[in-house]
Amino acid sequence: MFRSFALAATVTLGTLGTAGGVHAQETELLNVSYDIARELYAAINPAFIEQWDGEGELTINQSHAGSSKQARAILQGLQADLVTFNQVLDVEILADAGFVAEDWQQQFPNNASPYYSLPAFMVREGNPKDIDGWDDLVREDVSVIFPNPKTSGNGRYTYLAAWAWAMEEFDGDEERVREYMADLLGNVEVFDTGGRGATTTFTERNIGDVLVTFEAEVLNIAGQTEGYETVVPDQSLLAEFPVAVVERVAESRGTEEVARDYLNFLYTTEGQEILASFNNRVHDEAVVEANADRFPEVELFTVEDKFGSWAEAQETHFGSGGTLDQLLRQ
């Protein structure tokens, strides 16, 4: 169903001579990323390698899982040269532990987020349950699939988008918001650990009436596979995709410069075109204009406006004993 890509790209761009002969200098990067970005970075890698002006052989490897799971893996020893995550909090965890610079959001444009998306819906062909907004997700006849907010940044975006919509819908009445959220969580049939697992549950296991995931994932799957349709709600939550060099690892491996070049490539016109080709919303004005007809206008809430900050949202909603745990116990 999905396009298949190798998780490494390699090319030899030059050689170095030694007394014992000529051999290729080897440089290897590991991009640790979120669950549904496999195909995206498999397309980015050869494009970056082609324009890279370093000497020798460059190999770019990929690692994908739930964003929070990936952050924990780095803390536990996974040798990531760079991260391309789907939420700020998971990079902040690395910054707090000294793996990433404290000013990481100032090291690249747009708060170190080269592209963005939003939670959207994928429904089955013909939209048999007539789902077109967040209010439909709590109907008794609707079964919902989205990843676990405890392990997935994707899932946290969905949870917070639904909460933000409910705050607007119910004029800030938190009791009604909590009732809505309890009903929504009660309609979730499977809590997969990551976004791609949720997609597989919906498309291959044929579970659920609606999948809530990033708009890019919805458009990619619905555009490639018969039997599904895209529904983009009028209101949703801005989903940023922060990037950072894992300096503690990259400095020790001598890969900091190429890791930084790789992330800067994402902001070039070529990088932005590849990102947009995978249905991500980008910042380059020319690329935005060229793809304007593909992305409907949506009122986007932000985590900062609705929840104060990611740190506050984490403590209130996703920490042990937080609002999510309370709602799941109901």
- For residue range 142-175, list pLDDT tens digits in order: 999 999 999 888 999 999 999 999 999 999 999 9
Residue 124 has pLDDT above 50, yes or no: yes
Element (H, E) at 67: helix 67-75
CA–CA gap between residue 240 and residue 117 (Å, rounded):
7
Task: List all residues 6 or more positions away from 115 whose beta carbon is below 8 Å from its beta carbon.
Answer: 241, 266, 272, 275, 276, 280, 281, 282, 283
Instruction: Give pLDDT tens digits for 253-301.
Output: 999 999 999 999 999 999 999 999 999 999 999 999 999 999 999 999 9
pLDDT tens column, 231-258: 999 999 999 999 999 999 999 999 999 9
* Matching residue, tokens 């048999």: 128
pTM for the whole thing? 0.88
Q: Residue 14: what pLDDT? A: 34
Q: What is the pLDDT of residue 9?
A: 58
- Between helices 195-203 and 215-224, what is the axis angle to 10°? 40
As a whole number, the mean pLDDT across the chain is: 92
Nearest alpha-carbon partner for 220 in 230, 233, 207? 230
